[in-house]
Amino acid sequence: MSDSEKHTDFEALCAGYVLDALSNEEKESFEKMLESASPEQKRMYEEMQLVTNELALASSALSPSPELEETILNNLPPKEESKPGSTKIFGLSPVVYKVAAAILLIATLSLSYVSFQLSNTVSSQENRLTELTSQLEKQEQLLDILSAREITFVNMDGLDPSPEGYGKIIWDSQRGRAVLQLANLPAPPPESDYQLWLIKDDGDPISAGVFNFNQPSDDLFFTVEQLNESPSELSNTFAVTLEPKGGVPQPTGDMFLAGVQN
């Protein structure tokens, strides 16, 4: 065997060896070659091994689907004895070349999957950041209202539709601002909103805005933008009802919360 043939066989076996695609006999043959390999061949082996290790660490293990695995295996030809003058691609035998291609395909799919997962993680973190920013803004609004010289504070208890529910109103009537806290209420149906009402003394209810959320409420805070009313010196009643989407001029739905400030 010429030096050129030995060099080519080393390359082919080296690729299969680092990919763990050789038979036991081929592994023994390559390991003997490696013992007497030239510095150039050893360097090539080390570089191939390094690339293989980096691919393994690039993502968590991901098994191909049964369909992909069957396709890969069906495209692998039966193992044949090396024949003089057999065709080689870039120094690799066809069997090793196809195995390497299959491994690279699986690695590419693994990296694509990891990229997809990372994209979802980034999107989730961005949504979480938006949520935290909104919560911070509401807390700042609450602190600003609490710093007012005079505020009206009203507790609202849960009624029959949701007896475990409760709410609070913190009202800075001088500046026409308020914060509504809701807790333990079910999320409203898609065609409905919760609506807040102010009833001064025995007068007609005054709408103070509509509110919505997608999950059962757990200490949710809302800025009340429609409470430009002066509180009554006698009695101020706040109530929350379930109304058609967008709210109504006067309450028509079930009352979920109610509380009186005397």
Domain boundary pick from 117, 135, 165: 117
Helix (H) or strand (E) segment spanning residue 86: none
Same domain, 182 and 83: no
pLDDT digits (tens, 9 = 90+) for 89-146: 444 455 555 556 556 666 665 666 666 667 777 777 777 777 777 667 766 766 677 6
Question: Using a CB cutoff of 8 Å and minimum separation of 24, what contacts does 20-29 make?
Answer: 21/95, 21/96, 21/99, 21/100, 21/103, 23/79
Please tell me the predicted confidence (pLDDT) of residue 205. Answer: 95
Rg (CA), the chain: 36
Same domain, 88 and 168: no
**Whole-Å CA distances, 157 to 154, 165, 200, 205, 238:** 10, 7, 18, 18, 10
Which segments of the chain are extended strands (E)? 152-158, 166-172, 177-183, 192-200, 206-211, 220-224, 236-244, 255-261
Of 9-18, 153-162, 224-233, minimum mean pLDDT range: 9-18
Residue 182 lies in a domain: yes
Look at residue 226 and tell me if it is in a domain.
yes
Residues 241 and 157 in one domain: yes
Looking at the fold, whether 109 and 159 belong to one and the same domain comes out as: no
Pair 92, 187 in one domain: no
When divided into structural domains, the chain yields a total of 2
The last residue of a domain, from among 97, 117, 137: 117
The CATH number covering residue 250 comes to 2.60.40
For residue 192 the two structure tokens come to 């409905």
Contacts of 254 by beta carbon, 8 Å cutoff, 6+ apart: 159, 160, 161, 241, 242
Contact 170, 182 (CB under 8 A): no
Query: DSSP label at 79?
Result: P
Beta strand ranges found along 80-151 (DSSP E)? none
pLDDT at 59 over 60: no
Q: Which residue has the higher pLDDT, 113 or 233?
A: 233
Please write the tens of the pLDDT for every residue from 248-259.
999 999 999 999
The whole-model pTM stands at: 0.50
Asked if residue 94 belongs to a domain, the reply is: yes
Whole-angstrom distance, CA of residue 98 vs CA of residue 75: 8
Q: Are residues 172 and 111 located together in one domain of the fold? A: no
On whether both 234 and 183 belong to a single domain, the answer is: yes
Query: Based on the domain organization, do 206 and 254 belong to the same domain?
Result: yes
Domain that holds residue 66: 3-117
- Of 112, 106, 102, nearest to 64 by C-alpha is 106
